[in-house]
Structure 1
Amino acid sequence: MLRELYDYAVREQLTLPPGYVNKNVRAYVSLTGDGAFLGIMPGGEKVPCPDIGSMANSASKCNLFSEKRCILFPRDTAASNGRTEREQTAAKTAYFRQAMAAAAEVEPRLLLCLRVMEDPDTAAAVTTELDRQKLKAAHVISFMVDGVSILEFPAVRSWWEAFRQRFCPQGERAPCLITGQLTVPLATVPPVSGLSVVGGHARGDALICFDKDAFCSYGLKQAANAPVSEEAFAGVKAALDDLLADAPILAGMKFVHWYDRPLEEEEDPLGQIFTGVLIDEDTEEDAETLPPAANPNEARRQADTLVRSVKTGEAVHELPHLYNILLLSGVKGRVMIRSSQQGNYRELIASLQQWEQDLALTNSSGTGRMRPVKLAARLIHLIARQNSDQNIFDRLAKELAGLTPAIIQAILNGTRFPDPVISRALAYIRSQMFSSSEEEQTRKVPDPLACQWLKACLCRLERELYNKEALSVEYNENHPEPAYHCGALVAVYGAIQRYAMPDVNASLIDRYYASASQTPALVLGQLARMSNYHVSKLERLRGYFSNLRDQVACAIGPVIPTVLHPEQQAYFALGYYQMCAQMEKDRLARKTATTAAKAEDEQGGM
């Protein structure tokens, strides 16, 4: 991936000259041409600044021409363990001033900046103004003379190019792993920024690190084990810094992806995984029916045409042909690559279409398909369910740290999901079905997003084992799996009791769902006897429920399963959910028909 990152940086023009990095200069100390202090000019934008790399973390060196406020205008600080913080800051301040004095030989205007730093009265005035603008000690500041930043002075840049040669690596040359050209490899590489929110260090994390003997080989020292040139790695770092800035967080990892050709953000097919609209169940129930081919993204329309072109031969719009994906986090100052993948764009589109098809499921009211949801929201339905959880995304990162990369790999490659996905979705459904929430106690419908996980897992299992799919968006009375119809039959029994005895304290779902989903042969007989009693209490809907019950019971077949393994329990839950949706759809249809008939009678009477 190093070469792909380097090519991305070159294509996007992210690379800077060697010895420079983009820094957020928060403010400039503005001076006149004769050295008078004018005030503090706000910054806030990233600009190319000279950088000495990891040596800036030493006790006596710092970066030049732009640095932390506490170094340019230091204050007394409390002593720390070992060498005092005051001594370290004083050493860095002295190093900065010495470099400014040396550079002033080619750019005299730097002497004006140096005098401001050294003159107590002027330095106090600057400090007061910095305090007034609430600039912290760690904020990077610089100088400006006659409205021009010293970072833009041509003489300063020329001096820095010569001065930085003392920091360039010296030694034997080796082929660069990124470009293949002979180079003197960097001993240590600059840190990558952007991983602090996923376990990384605030100063950045090392992508290539050989600080232990166990990591070294053939007697090589440090990064010579993976030789890279300064210029090439600067491109890799620039690419990662750029990609990580806007990368979504997924289960404690940054999802970084890019293509080998330019692609607009709204045309990015991978973005749909993270940009689905997060909805609650009430919103979902009132959703309009989405047609199977509904596609809000123009890029997806082009991709569909691309896939069809294999068979039809029609002309298509040119699309990127390679994608790259990295799942990254930070661990103890190092970049941890959790997963990496590179693949063909056509295969990616086909896999994402399959993912969308596998997820297709009716909403709980049976009025249409469920709307798209963010992948992070889907993953929440694979962790232990809690009624009140303010740190749910922290739990997501901990509980699914090892599972999320495998899930993403399955989505991108169209392969089976890991086995824990089914067990976790079932656990979530069980905890939700027996929740003390008043709404969930009334409805008794399994969680729709958890059921989508089950459907996706089972669809891929069916394709792999039987080379066909039997699951559909709605209840399929011809599905060959008995466990699927066992779940549907329990849903019918539960609805019959709810209509016959609406005020019952503990429903048969409360009492028997868990046992029926694991050992249906031991439970369904007893539920059938109870159902006969409940049906006798029905009046208007007796025929509807009797026919539906008999129809589903016949679909089970001659033998009721004794014990259900996890995949069969998934079928059971999905059959239960889809039958609940089917009965709710029928109820709404009856209500609509009754309303229409009533309106027609009223019009006839007029």
Structure 2
Amino acid sequence: MLHALTTYAQNNLSDSEPGFAPKDIRWEIVLTGPQTATPVPCGDTSRKDYSGRTFKKCPHLEQRELIAGGITRSHFLADTLAVVTLFNEKEEPPDAKTQEKHRFFIQLLRDASGAMPQLSAVADLLDDETKLAHLNRELRELKAKATDKASFKVDGDYVLDSHLWHDWWREFRRSLSAEPRPEASTMRCFVTGNHISPALTHEKIRGLPGGLPTGDVLAGFDKEAFQSFGLEQGCNAAMSEESAKMYTAALNELIKNHSIRFPGVQITYWFKKTVPREDDPLPFLSEGQGRETGAQTENGTRIALNDARRLLRKIREGAKHGEKVDYLHDNQYYAATLSGMSGRVMLRDWMEGQFEDLVVAVNTWFDELEIVRLDGSIAYGPKFFAVLSATVRDPKDLPAPYVSAMWHSAMNHQARIPEQALARALDRFRVAIMTDEYVNPFSVAVIKACLNRTARLSKGGEPMLSPHLNTEHPNPAYQCGRLLAVYAKLQRAALGDVGAGVVQRYYAAASATPALVFGQLTRLAQFHLAKLESGGLTHWYNDQIAGIMQCIGDRMPATLSLTDQSLFALGYYQQIAEMNRKKETTTPEEEKNNE
């Protein structure tokens, strides 16, 4: 993973260098003369996710450098308004530490003015209490916050865009570095294999769910339990400062611009060759969930499904006719599933593989999750978050390890779907059935997908479960579920709405120990058949029951495993959907008369 991240940084982050980092600047303080300084919002303020303008190469000090030698330091050229202008929303006097950082900020500007003379005017401005007070009044009127980052624009140019200060800054930062440890001088870099002096600490990774606001470390050895052979800190996983900078810069950039967030996890991904947005298969799975109405979700799912199939056809037809598109063939994907945990980065999963395999996996995901609705229409394969939500009472209950395992199975069609997904989906379905609540078709879709993928990977060949009812399914548990559905419909036809019917009273027992329950249910069915007023309807139900009984065979199953209970649920659901579908065009009596 570190090698892949380093390669990504080399190819895409040319500005990646120790002592520099991208920063979001919300305020530019514009100097147009010796007496004039105006605060202006920086970047596109109309955006909902406005965070300022991103400057890709800003001077940056790590925490250990900010406090090296017991000196309180600030950053250079860009820092919070509290440090830069002593700004405070409540007009309270700054504390001693903030004042010390402010003085250090000014001193850095004066020291660097030999390399960039324009900085002298900025230092003079910040040293003038009257001008500073006027500037802060304007910032309060603009609703600025003390934690917003600010920098400067002098004579129409951003100081952060200039290269004049770069060499001065590199030299200043080197002056903060401690002498290298003797044992570190001959260690090999984990990434390059070169002899290097290891960086003792690495930059933090920011923006992870569960992580600290200040960031989390991927490679950290601050506790003795993490150290080996008497080595301290970064010597336990030796990387040069340049290598450490590359992998941390790559991860931070990917998390910010190329990642997907689900409860508890952040999924970063990239490709060896650049893929246009319209041909990136992962947004087909992930985009839009949680922000759409029902109709919009259905439409978005259909569009995603069509896009996934279009992309797969594009790859296969190109290979067939020898018209290969470069980024679609011989391309590689990389994906890391990450979480923050008490200041450390938790790598939950790492995947890499061929781009075509990823496209196949996305198509397989949609196909496996296709299921009939209770009204007989088709619910096309849902997006990823809809699948997760269908297996829990509240999406907030989703545990991160479960989300990570489910994502792995979505991206790899040769990986099993976690068994707990089957148990969770079955539980949600059972609760909905027994309480007569809305049955989420995606819960049933997860059951079907789990069973089919297990069958495909274990036995080979085509799976036996389709989106619609399979009257010839050989498993007795599936047929038992069908039989309960027919009994439930028979009761309603005979007695109308009786409140708690056979499903609410018997589903739990029937789906676990059918042999103990179906005898009583069959006797109830005889009573209900006698109550029917239509002879044609009686014959129709008798034929349905007889046909299902023939499929079950001579012996009703005594107990059902988790897999069998899942088949029971699927048989029940698909039988209901089939009867509802036929009800749209014909009644059971009309169907009997037409035979």
The answer, yes or no, to whether TM exceeds 0.5 is yes
Contact 1:191 1:207 in 2 (8 A): yes
Contact 2:81 2:87 in 1 (8 A): no
1:241 paired with 2:241, answer: no
**Residue number in structure 1 paired with 2:73:** 61
Give SS of 1:327's match. Answer: strand
- Within the candidate set 576, 579, 583, 1:587 is matched to 583
- Within the candidate set 117, 121, 125, 1:108 is matched to 117
- Within the candidate set 57, 70, 85, 2:82 is matched to 70
For residues 487 and 124 of structure 1, what CA distance do their matches in structure 2 show? Answer: 77
Contact 1:485 1:556 in 2 (8 A): yes
For 1:367-446, list aligned pairs within 5 A. 367=377, 369-383=378-392, 385=393, 392-396=394-398, 400-411=399-410, 412-435=412-435, 437=437, 440=438, 446=439
Give SS of 1:203's match. Answer: coil
**Residue number in structure 1 paired with 2:511:** 517
For residues 24 and 250 of structure 2, what CA distance do their matches in structure 1 show? Answer: 17
**Residue number in structure 1 paired with 2:376:** 366
- 1:360 CA drift (Å): 2.5
For residues 362 and 378 of structure 1, what CA distance do their matches in structure 2 show? Answer: 15
Is the alpha carbon distance of 1:538 and 1:405 closer, same or farther for their aligned partners in structure 2, counting shifts above 3 Å?
Answer: farther
- 1:286 CA drift (Å): 9.7
Contact 2:289 2:386 in 1 (8 A): no
- 1:281 CA drift (Å): 11
Deviations 1:445-502 (A, max 9, x none): x431111111111112323444342222211122111000000110011111112222
User: TM-score, normalization: structure 2?
Assistant: 0.87
1:333 paired with 2:333, answer: no
- 1:337 CA drift (Å): 0.8
Deviations 1:527-562 (A, max 9, x none): 222222223314253333322222112111121101
Contact 1:276 1:372 in 2 (8 A): no
Contact 1:72 1:93 in 2 (8 A): yes
Deviations 1:204-234 (A, max 9, x none): 2212111111212222221122222333333
- 1:185 CA drift (Å): 2.2
The AA in structure 2 aligned to 1:39 is: T
1:572 paired with 2:572, answer: no
- Within the candidate set 275, 282, 288, 1:270 is matched to 282
Deviates more, 1:341-350 or 1:528-537: 341-350
The AA in structure 1 aligned to 2:563 is: E
For residues 338 and 10 of structure 2, what CA distance do their matches in structure 1 show? Answer: 22
- 1:181 CA drift (Å): 3.3
**Residue number in structure 1 paired with 2:452:** 459
For 1:140-539, list aligned pairs within 5 A. 140-168=149-177, 170-171=179-180, 172-195=185-208, 198-246=209-257, 247-275=259-287, 295=307, 298-305=310-317, 316-318=324-326, 319=328, 320-367=330-377, 369-383=378-392, 385=393, 392-396=394-398, 400-411=399-410, 412-435=412-435, 437=437, 440=438, 446-468=439-461, 469-536=463-530, 537-539=532-534
- 1:263 CA drift (Å): 0.9
Is the alpha carbon distance of 1:329 and 1:290 closer, same or farther for their aligned partners in structure 2, counting shifts above 3 Å?
Answer: closer
Is the alpha carbon distance of 1:218 and 1:321 closer, same or farther for their aligned partners in structure 2, counting shifts above 3 Å?
Answer: same
Give SS of 2:469's match. Answer: coil
**Residue number in structure 1 paired with 2:54:** 46
Extract unaligned runs of 5+ from structure 1: 79-83, 386-391, 441-445, 595-606
The AA in structure 2 aligned to 1:577 is: Y
Is the alpha carbon distance of 1:217 and 1:41 closer, same or farther for their aligned partners in structure 2, counting shifts above 3 Å?
Answer: same
For residues 334 and 266 of structure 1, what CA distance do their matches in structure 2 show? Answer: 35
Deviates more, 1:482-491 or 1:2-11: 2-11
Deviations 1:381-405 (A, max 9, x none): 222x3xxxxxx34322xxx222222
For residues 341 and 154 of structure 1, what CA distance do their matches in structure 2 show? Answer: 38
**Residue number in structure 2 paired with 1:21:** 21
Contact 1:355 1:414 in 2 (8 A): no
Contact 2:82 2:88 in 1 (8 A): no
Deviations 1:406-445 (A, max 9, x none): 22333315233333222211211121113365xx4xxxxx
The AA in structure 1 aligned to 2:510 is: A
For residues 286 and 331 of structure 1, what CA distance do their matches in structure 2 show? Answer: 36
- Within the candidate set 513, 538, 541, 1:545 is matched to 541
Contact 1:512 1:523 in 2 (8 A): yes
Contact 1:77 1:85 in 2 (8 A): no
Deviations 1:10-47 (A, max 9, x none): 323454343211111111222234x2123112212011
How many aligned residue pairs are there? 563
Is the alpha carbon distance of 1:46 and 1:86 closer, same or farther for their aligned partners in structure 2, counting shifts above 3 Å?
Answer: same
Q: How much identity, in percent, do the aligned residues show?
A: 29
For residues 62 and 183 of structure 1, what CA distance do their matches in structure 2 show? Answer: 29
Give SS of 2:72's match. Answer: coil
Give the CA RMSD over aligned residues.
Answer: 3.2
- 1:89 CA drift (Å): 1.5
Deviates more, 1:154-163 or 1:217-226: 154-163
Give SS of 1:589's match. Answer: coil
Is the alpha carbon distance of 1:288 and 1:199 closer, same or farther for their aligned partners in structure 2, counting shifts above 3 Å?
Answer: closer
Is the alpha carbon distance of 1:304 and 1:153 closer, same or farther for their aligned partners in structure 2, counting shifts above 3 Å?
Answer: closer
- 1:92 CA drift (Å): 1.5
Contact 1:496 1:545 in 2 (8 A): yes
The AA in structure 2 aligned to 1:205 is: D
The AA in structure 2 aligned to 1:504 is: V
Is the alpha carbon distance of 1:270 and 1:145 closer, same or farther for their aligned partners in structure 2, counting shifts above 3 Å?
Answer: closer
The AA in structure 2 aligned to 1:394 is: K
For residues 500 and 286 of structure 1, what CA distance do their matches in structure 2 show? Answer: 36
- 1:177 CA drift (Å): 2.1
- 1:278 CA drift (Å): 7.0
The AA in structure 1 aligned to 2:374 is: S
The AA in structure 2 aligned to 1:363 is: R
Give SS of 1:328's match. Answer: strand
Contact 1:284 1:370 in 2 (8 A): no
For residues 441 and 290 of structure 2, what CA distance do their matches in structure 1 show? Answer: 13
Contact 1:24 1:46 in 2 (8 A): yes
Deviations 1:311-351 (A, max 9, x none): x7865444253221111111122211111122233433443
**Residue number in structure 2 paired with 1:389:** none
For residues 533 and 66 of structure 2, what CA distance do their matches in structure 1 show? Answer: 79
Contact 2:267 2:337 in 1 (8 A): yes
Contact 2:205 2:252 in 1 (8 A): yes
- 1:182 CA drift (Å): 3.4
For residues 137 and 352 of structure 2, what CA distance do their matches in structure 1 show? Answer: 53
Deviations 1:266-297 (A, max 9, x none): 21223322137779998599999989x95555
- Within the candidate set 79, 89, 95, 1:86 is matched to 95
**Residue number in structure 1 paired with 2:46:** none
Contact 2:312 2:360 in 1 (8 A): no
Contact 2:422 2:447 in 1 (8 A): yes
Contact 1:328 1:335 in 2 (8 A): yes
Is the alpha carbon distance of 1:137 and 1:284 closer, same or farther for their aligned partners in structure 2, counting shifts above 3 Å?
Answer: closer
The AA in structure 1 aligned to 2:335 is: I
